[in-house]
């Protein structure tokens, strides 16, 4: 139920253990949101506005894995619950670039919220 970056060390391995078959996706970091599309068809799989993303970070064990947590029930009286989404990039440099762009998106959306 907590979506801070401290959970990523436990959440990433947990997601990888439970995960179903991996899918190739296109990851598009926009000014106000993150879009994930199916690579083969470009079908939009999910859209996450920055205010719903609680944290982003890398996996310590593998330099090309990164994840972010998203609030899935922010209006719940019991408090928000979060999903952790894990992605593998093609390189450590690409991974760092994506994380930096998402972090910059947090700052950009301060003006939208």
Domain count, the chain: 1
- pTM for this structure? 0.81
3-state class (DSSP) for residue 90: coil
Q: Which residue range(s) make up the domain with 33?
A: 5-109
Spatial separation of the C-alpha atoms in residues 45 and 30, rounded to whole Å: 15
**CATH code where residue 86 lies:** 2.30.29.30
Look at residue 99 in the predicted model and tell me its pLDDT: 92
How would you write the pLDDT of the chain (113 residues) with one tens digit per residue? 567 777 888 888 888 888 677 889 999 999 889 999 999 999 999 999 988 888 899 877 788 899 998 888 656 656 678 888 999 999 999 999 999 999 888 776 655 44
- What one-character DSSP code corresponds to residue 21? S
Spatial separation of the C-alpha atoms in residues 44 and 58, rounded to whole Å: 24
90 half-sphere exposure, CB direction, 13 A CA radius? 4
């Amino acid at each position: 139920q907590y979506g801070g970056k401290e959970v990523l060390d436990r959440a990433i391995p947990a997601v990888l253990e439970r995960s179903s078959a991996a899918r190739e996706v296109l990851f598009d970091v926009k000014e106000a949101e993150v879009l994930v599309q199916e690579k083969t068809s470009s079908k939009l799989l999910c859209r996450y506005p920055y205010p719903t993303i609680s944290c982003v970070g890398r996996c310590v064990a593998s330099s090309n894995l990164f994840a972010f947590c998203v609030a899935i029930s922010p209006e719940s009286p019991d408090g928000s619950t979060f999903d952790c989404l894990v992605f593998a990039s093609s390189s450590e440099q690409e991974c760092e670039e994506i994380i930096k762009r998402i972090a910059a998106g947090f700052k950009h959306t301060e003006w939208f919220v």
